[in-house]
Structure 1
Amino acid sequence: MIKFNKENVLLLYKYIIESTGGVFGIRDETLLESAIEAPYQTFDGNELFPSKLEKAAKLGYGLISNHPFVDGNKRIGFYIMLTFLEVNGIYIKFSNEEIQEIAYSIAAGSLSYKELLDILTNKRK
């Protein structure tokens, strides 16, 4: 499994901001690191998010809900989530409307991590 680190995320974040507009900047370094590291957490030697879908959902959800960047949190969160899946051999398609609805719902706190994981699981079928 290909693991994303802070360097990967910042490189893709820069690309998103340059491509779609906005202000590049980190608002909170700790929240950024937390969002990036959360998918790889373990407890008593066991992964808390063992599958690729769980890791992707946790990564995307964390980047959107933690709001670590000055601008583009929803865009980068969704983009990183889908890119993580693709580089790990899972291809899921979303319409622009679905992306907006899901990302805004996460940012507003009305869509949970579990609900996002369910969406990814159902879209993969």
Structure 2
Amino acid sequence: MIRVNYEEVLHIHDELIRRFGGSFGLRSESSLRAAVDQPYLSFEGKDLYPSIIDKAACLGFGIIQSHAFVDGNKRTGGMCAMMLLSINGISFSPDDQEWRDVLLLVASNKMNRDEFNKWLHAAVE
């Protein structure tokens, strides 16, 4: 499995801000690091997020919910989830409007981590 690391998330964020506008800046390095590390955690030798899709959902959700960036948290979380799927050979081409709507639900606390995970599994499979 290929991971998305902290530096890559920063790069993705900066590229999205350059391309689509918004403010650069990081509010909380520790919150972002926790969000980026979360998908790869294990307990007693078992991954907490066993599949790539589980990890992608955790990564996207964590980045969005952490509000670690000044701007672009939804875009960055969504793009990082898509990137994690892609670099691990999983095709994911959501409808743009539906994807934006789902990311907004996550950001507004109207979709929890489990619901986002289920949605992503259904959208990929």
TM-score range, shorter chain: over 0.9
Shift of 1:70: 0.3
Percent identity for Structure 1 against Structure 2: 37
**Could you say which residue in structure 2 is the equivalent of 1:47?**
47
1:25 aligns with 2:31: no
Q: Tell me the matched-pair count.
A: 125
Could you tell me how far 1:44 is from its partner in structure 2?
A: 1.1
* Partner AA of 1:42 in structure 2: S
Runs of 4+ in 1 over 4 A off after TM superposition: none
Question: Which residue is equivalent to 2:74?
Answer: 74
Over aligned residue pairs, what C-alpha RMSD do you find?
0.8
Could you say which residue in structure 2 is the equivalent of 1:112?
112
Q: SS of the counterpart of 1:19?
A: helix
Task: Give the structure 1 partner of residue 10 of structure 2.
Answer: 10
> Partner of 1:91: helix, strand, or coil?
coil
> Quick one: distance in 2 between partners of 1:59 and 1:124?
16
Q: Aligned equivalents of 2:124 and 2:12: distance in 1?
A: 24
CA offset at residue 23 of structure 1?
Answer: 0.8
Shift of 1:43: 0.8
TM-score, reference length from structure 1: 0.96
Residue identity in the other structure for 2:64: I
AA at the equivalent of 1:62: G
Segments of 5+ residues of structure 2 without an aligned counterpart are none
| One-letter amino acid of the structure 1 residue matched with residue 43 of structure 2 | F
- With normalisation by structure 2, the TM-score equals 0.96
How far apart, in 1, do the equivalents of 2:101 and 2:108 lie?
A: 10
SS in 1 for 2:91: coil
5+ unaligned residues in a row in structure 1: which ranges? none
